[in-house]
Every structure is written in C-alpha cells, then in structure tokens.
A and B are shown apart, each in its own frame.
Chain A
Amino acid sequence: MKDGMELAEFCVDYSEGLGCDYAEARYVEGFSRGLVYRNSQPVSGGVTPSSGIGVRILVGGSMGFASIDRMDRGLAEEAITKAYRIAKNATRKTPIDLGEPVENRAKWKMKVKQSLEDVGIEDIMETCAELNKCMEGLASYLLMVTPRIERKYFISSEGTSIASEVSRIMIVAILTAAAKVGSEQRYLDFTLAGGWERIREENLFTKLADEVARLRNAAENAVMVKELLDQPVDMIVGQEVAGIIAHENVGHPSEGDRIMGREGAQAGESFWRDLKLGESRVGSDVVNVSEDPTIPNTSGYYEYDDEGVKSRKRELVKNGIINEPLLNREFGARFGLGSNAAARAVSYNREPIIRMANTYFEPGDHSFDELVEDVKLGVFMRSFQEWNIDDRRYQSKYTGSEAYLIRNGEVTDTLVRRPVMETTSVGMLSSIDAVSRNLSFEFPGTCGKSDPMQGVPVYAGGGEIRFRGIRLGGVG
C-alpha cells in the first residue's frame, strides 16, 4: 500500500500545483482468485491482483478524472495534466460546486474472522465441490466463485484521509432445470460480505440445495392457472422480490444524479424529478423504504463513502411519501441538502457517483400467515427471473420463477407458471396494504450504472409484501 498511498498524496499535490480548485486521489489495491465449473467439472481459474489510482479534479467549475495503473510519477503527471487541460476546455455554463468542505480522517475495515487472503485455493476448491454437489441432477449448471479483498486509500485537498478494507465472496450459479416442455432457468447470486466464515454462517450449501429443489419443482410442476388471469387478484411477494422492487422502483428513482439528469443518456432520469420531497405520495401509508450502508455483513457496507463522507441510513420513502434522495457532494449541494454519503466508485479507474448500498422495505407488523389469511384468490411469488423497468423507473415487470396459488387464505401446493406483474411504480406501491415483519436481505446483486459501466455490489430485501388488486400478465 505504501507506494500507492505516497503516489496518491503526490497526485493531490500535483493537481493543486496545476491550479485545480479541488483534487482527490483514490488508491485501490485488490486481489481476487476465481474458479469456474460447469456441471461440477472445472473449466478454468484465474488470479487477478489489481492496483491503481483515480484522481478527480475540479478546474474552474469543470470536473476532470485521470486514472493510472502503475505507480509512476511521470505517468501520473502526464495523465493529470491531460485531464486538467480537457476539463479546462470544457467551458461549462454552470460551475460544479461540491458544497461544504469535507475533512474526515479515519480508518475502517469490514469485520472478518478468516481473511480471504489466508484461504488456500484447496479450501476454495473444496467449497466449490460441495456447492457443485448441491446442484447435481439439474440439466446443466454453472458455478463461479471469486473471493476478493480490496484496500483503499482516499485523500483530498480538503484534508480528508480515509483508509479502508472490504472483503467479499462473489458466488454466482446459473441453473437450468428440465421442464415438461423445454426448461426453466435461474440466475442466483449468493455474494457474501466478510471473511471465509460467512459461507458456513449463511448455511450456503443448504440454501443452494433448497433453491435447486425449488427450481426443479417449479420446472416440473408449474401450470397456468387461468382464473388468475381473468380478474384482479391479490399478490404476496417474498423477500427476494421485495428486494428487487425496493431497488428498482424506489432506490433508483431516488438517485439525485438521475433526478437532475446527469445519467440521462445511459441509466436514465427519474420520475421523482416532477415530485416534491416530503409531499408527493408514491405508495400507500405502509410503504417505508430505506437505504443503509451501515449494516454489517452486507455487500453495501461502508463506513465512509468514496468522497470521504461518513455513511448513514437514508429514509427514501416514509409512509408512502418521498422523503430523501440519495446524494453525493455535487448533488447534495444542488439539492441544498448536503451529501448523505451515497458516492461509490467500483474501481480506481471509475469516478465516484451516486449508488445504492442496501435497499429495503422497512418491516411491517404482519406475520406471513397474517398476510395470507385474508387473500381469497392470489399468488405468492417467492422468486423471480426476468425483470426490467423503464429508464424513468416508472414501469416495471417482474416474472415469477417459483410462485404458488393462494386460495381461501392458504398457500396451496399448486405452482403457478411464470406469473407476470407488469405495473407502474406508483400503481404497484399504492396497492400495498401490508408488509411482514420478516426483514431479510435475500437479493444480493450487482447494480449497473454509469458509462463506462460500474457494476457495484449491493444487497436488497424487505419483509414479504401484500399487493391488492393486481391484474397479472400485463396488458396485451
């Protein structure tokens, strides 16, 4: 780390010497090993150490960014000078303002019992073998396991200095189960945050075996239930589906850069743009969605964001009313609210932008049985496969993977094939009348945004949610 930290400090000094109004440098050192298996057979492996520095500067109200991957002062000077010159030529009409200076100094580290660096490749292979065993019997399956440790050192011309370390075990399985006709597929992300002990703590083998059994059951037995399509029905979704809804229909539209148009050409804008914070209703009274990077053992965990701002919980929607957007320093200043520590950069060669961390429906006061007991006809969608949402985050579609018919207050054994919930965000959130108290983060994922793409690890979840009067299948 030492060389990288010294060069980061040099980069900030050099940028100030050029005449930059603000400069920050982020040195990131990562190490990952990865294995890929297909139907239990090893395909290949990889080892990827990485290190580099990203420098962000402000010049006369324009922003520049330079990235280098070698600890070379000459290269740093050349790259920063280039970024400085291009930024100076940008002739921005509205100067960028980062708001109040930030002067935090801290060191933080994700808590681990068994460091990922200390885990031998033999142990990783043994774990992979156990995971592969859980998937035997499927038509095909692919397993990718990548433990990764990442250390950062962030320094700015305002006096901020933050050193940090995170550990994550990326685990992805792609499953294909034979169905009566064709097949059914699942993409499962089991990414864990922390040390190697997290595999056992999370009962990963049991979880994977359970998901495999569920997919096979759904593939073999799910049927179309016509009466569900003939009328509006009630719908209960599990924590995984609750998580993706919290992420897509609430988290994304709450991002301040989208609201102000900065993602316009890529990830899009936001329907929150035309709403009023603290006034506009997007859901029923029972809808409370929060964002919290301070939850331990999550992919979204951080103590300071990538602009050096101390992290805290954000309440995006309170009692159905939009409450607080996700903000970094630039958009915190533009909203007049200040940053709420939502800046994340996925690598040294990416700029920090507004990102989610852990997004979830706050737990309600129902048990799962209470959600089900007064549903006369409906569907319990435990998991999903296909989904998408428009770039204003207003119209979404979630297609069930494992879903059950609910009749007369009971979840039946009848599996419903691929139920579709295609609604608007406001329509869907307004139809919620209850959320269970069973908060769980069942949706680890990689959230894509920005250009070049930044896939950032996040968690999402909630309790089970009950929606009233949903017409399944979409129109058409």
Chain B
Amino acid sequence: MTGIDDLKVLVDYAVDHGKSKSDAIIARAVLSSDAQVRFSQNNIDISKTWRSLEMQIFAVVNGTKTGSTARAVATKADVEKAVDDLVAFTSKLPDSMFYAGLEDSVSKYPEVQDRYDSNIDTFVEESTEIVNSAIDAALQEGAKRVAGALMVTKQHFFFRSSLGPEGSLKKTGHELNVRALQDELDYSGQGLHSGTLPSRSEKEMIEAGARAGRLSKQAIGAVQGEPGIYDLVLTPTVAANVLGRVPAQANPFVIMMGMSPLSDKMGEQIAPDFITAFDDPLFPGGIESTPFDWEGTPSRRTNIIEGGVLKSLLHNTTTARMYDTESTGSSRLARMGMGMRMLLPGESNIVFENGSMKLQDLLDTDRPTVYVTNNWYTRFQNQQSGDFSTIPRDAMFLVEKGELTPIKNVRISDNTMRMLSNIDALGNDRTQVYWWEVRTPTMIPTMRIRDCRITAATL
C-alpha cells in the first residue's frame, strides 16, 4: 500500500482507530519523491533520490496531554501500531501548558495557484542536463569552477482531523544554488533560483548560473575591506537571511522561549512606514503555500508589519485562545530537537512589499556604502535584543561615486531591530529566496540600510 490513492485510506485507519482512544487526533500521510543533483569543480558529484511515506499524528489524550509522532507506514497494522504507541506514550505525560484546543469547524479551502508541476517526473530524469547547462552558463560568464545543488521535490498528502476538517494537496518545488569561483578561494559569486514549477523554470536556472559566473568575475581583485559604519545594500538573499527572519519571530511560542525580539513591541513602529511584511500561505509560487494549516484552519494572509508597525502575531488555535484572538491559520507540526515534532504556530512564506528603485539607483549614493550579495553563518548573542553578526561571502563591493570596488574579509556585526528601523530604500526586484541559509521561503527585495557596523579581524 504505497500509492497516492492509498493516503486517504491510511489516514482514515489512523483517525478511526485513534478517535475512541483520544480526545482528538489529527493524521497526515505524506508521500514524497525527491531528487537532488550535487556538483562541484564543474562536475556532478552525486545524484540522489528519496522515496518516503510518512504518517504524522498529533493526539490529545485525557484532556490536555499532547503528543506527536512521525514514522514510515505501509499497512493498516503499521498505522494502528503508530496510533497505539502514541496514545500510550501521551497518556503518561503531564498536562501540556501549551494546549488550548484545535480547529473544529469544517471550511471550504481557498485554491493555491502554481502549486504542482505535472512535468515533474520528466524534469527529474533530465535534471543533470539542466545542471550542466547552469555550469556552462557560469563558465561562459567567466567562472573557473562551479559548484552547487539542484533539489526537486514532489509531495502528495492527505490529512483528516477527528474534529472534522480534512484536505489534500499535491505540490512540487525546486531549489537551485550555483556558486561560481575563480581559481582563487577569494573570488566567487552565487546565483539562486527556487519555486514550485521546475519544468517552467529552466531559463531562470541557467540565468542563476550566469549570475554566479558574472559575480565571481566582478569579485576578482577583491581587497581587504575597511571596518567602520556604512550604509549596506543587501541583495534579496542577504536581506532574507538577516531581516526576513524578524516577521517570522512574530510567533507566540518563539516569544515564550525568549527567542524573539518582538515580545513587547505590538503596536510599535519597528520599521519605516514604507515597510509592510506579511505571512502569505496563498502566495502563488510560494514554496510553503498551502490552502490550510496543519489543524485544517483555512490559510489566509496575515499582515505582521504594516506601515512599519507590528500588527499581528502568527497563531494556531492554542495560541489564539491564549491571546484571546483568532487563529491566523498558522498551525504547523514543527520539528524540535532530534526527531521530535510539536504542534506550534509557524510561518509559511514571509513576504515583504516590493519597492520601486532600480539597483543602480540604490547604489547611486554619496554615503559610504557596501553592497553585499551573499552571507552565511548568522549567529546571535541575544535573540531577544537581536544582537548578531553574519559573514558576507562571495562578491561584495565598496560603492564610491557609483563605482563598485570588490572587497573581502569583513563581518556585519549589528542588531536586527536597529537595522530594520534603518531601512532606507527598497529595490523593485522582489525575489523568492530559499536556500541553505534561508529555510523559510522569503519574498523580499534588495534593501538599503543606513549606518550599519562592519568589523574585521584584528590579527
């Protein structure tokens, strides 16, 4: 029993078997078929395929004891054992301080556009050709060495809650990362493309290779950057990593953990009035787009920052009741620790309103400015305050009188809330960012930010 048509049968087994043993049970059967091509030094290193059928179950037992499980299943016996194990485990737990109910009304769900690519299987078979074309594009633009990965995912799931809601979704996605390097370690550039319709994205994938190649060539001759205070122009890739995380921290559980800078900021101006950011699970082409959340609440857009003011947190049914408000349709079975899942509020796609400025206009400035095209290894000294540092990598430029001079070896050491409030201008190039360093799909434009602190090694 491993076909798409069997998902409903497996879920029905779980809910029917579990509903008399629990106060509420939600089961979701997820059939996945993923593939990845990894490459480096202009060669394909490995081609990978994954096949999985996972049953995810959340159960409420004896009032407010909550537990979850996720495991591979194939038969009715597997499903019933999963339910029995979970109920037995959960019944021994103490009451949860983080449970106040589940969605219990049945709704008609909205449609999500551009969610499934019917040519996915053919695309996977030909994915090595696309990769080789992206490598060639980078080399043609001047790269000497090209590395990266193309991941293609296909998933079909069905869910049902013992409280009524049920639904299913077929979805596909892709994630390409191309890094182009010169012979030297210091001169490199990156191109990304991600989305939901891989077979219609071949042109963009090849352009990602070309962009990586161009940037690596522009980075040649990079010199040690001078530390100091600069305006920063951050590409969507960097803006997503550094500032795209702030709306995602509008999460009651993250606040309760002490891991959000937004705990006492509701209603406050935390960004300039031209900044609006929202969670949009219905965004066309969004990698995490879904018509309903994990409990079955219909998806909808939630304005988190509106006109620069913090307007809303993301809620599931539990946190909505704790905060005396309505669920935003943001229930997720989140991963915690090693293999554990918990029903928590969580973001889907984070979307920033687009700006109006062309890149060249953002860079046309008399102020000391650094243009950062990529970054990695963002770490926080304090998540509540937003004190952090991150390391620019790949092409980075000092901007002087409209001229770009490649620089290297500096670090952004600043504060996310201060940077958010210092956004000066937005580009008109909003792009979906989803890669190794950004695991929440984030639609965000290039940002220019005033007076940021750049540091460098002392020894």
Contact = CB atoms under 8 A, between A and B. Distances in A.
Classify the secondary structure of B's interface with A: strand
9 contacts: A32-B339, A63-B47, A67-B49, A70-B2, A89-B125, A261-B40, A271-B185, A422-B411, A474-B456
A224 interface: no
Contact of A64 (B39, B46, B71, B256): B46
Interface in B136-157: 145, 147-149, 151
Interface in A41-72: 41-52, 62-72
A96 B127 CA distance: 20
B212 to A, nearest CB: 9
Interface residues of B, number: 103
Interface in B33-71: 35-54, 66-71
Nearest to B456: A475
Interface string A390-432: 1110110101000000000000000000100011100110010
Contacts of A69: 51-54, 72
Interface residues on A, range: 35 or more
A389 B457 CA distance: 11
Given A43-B342, A67-B49, A89 B129 contact: yes
B425 to A, nearest CB: 24
Looking at B44, B95, B339, which has the most chain A CB atoms within 10 Å of its CB?
B339
Interface in B172-212: 177-179, 181, 185-186, 190
A87 B42 CA distance: 15
A122 interface: yes
B411 A474 contact: yes
A86 B128 contact: yes
A33 B89 contact: yes
Contacts of B269: none
A344 interface: no
Interface of A: 30, 32-36, 38, 41-52, 62-72, 75, 78-79, 82-83, 85-87, 89-94, 96, 121-122, 125, 139-142, 144, 146, 148, 170, 172, 174, 176, 182-185, 260-266, 268-269, 271, 273-274, 349, 351, 385-392, 394-395, 397, 399, 418, 422-424, 427-428, 431, 451-453, 469-476
Nearest to A141: B258
A237 B379 CA distance: 20
Contacts of B132: 91
Contacts of B457: 395, 422-424, 427, 474-475
Contact of A140 (B258, B380, B459): B258
Contact of A86 (B35, B67, B259, B337): B35
A72 B52 CA distance: 11
Looking at A32, A68, A390, which has the most chain B CB atoms within 10 Å of its CB?
A390
Interface of B: 2, 35-54, 66-74, 85-86, 89-90, 92-99, 124-125, 127-129, 132, 145, 147-149, 151, 177-179, 181, 185-186, 190, 227-229, 256-259, 336-343, 376-385, 387-391, 393, 409-411, 413, 436, 453-459
B420 to A, nearest CB: 17
A37 B9 CA distance: 35
A183 B148 CA distance: 40
Contacts of B379: 386-388
A75 B391 CA distance: 43
Contacts of B48: 64-67, 83, 351
Contacts of A96: 45
Contacts of A418: 381
A70 B391 contact: no
Nearest to A418: B381
Given A36-B340, A92-B43, A264-B40, A391 B393 contact: yes
Contacts of B35: 82, 86
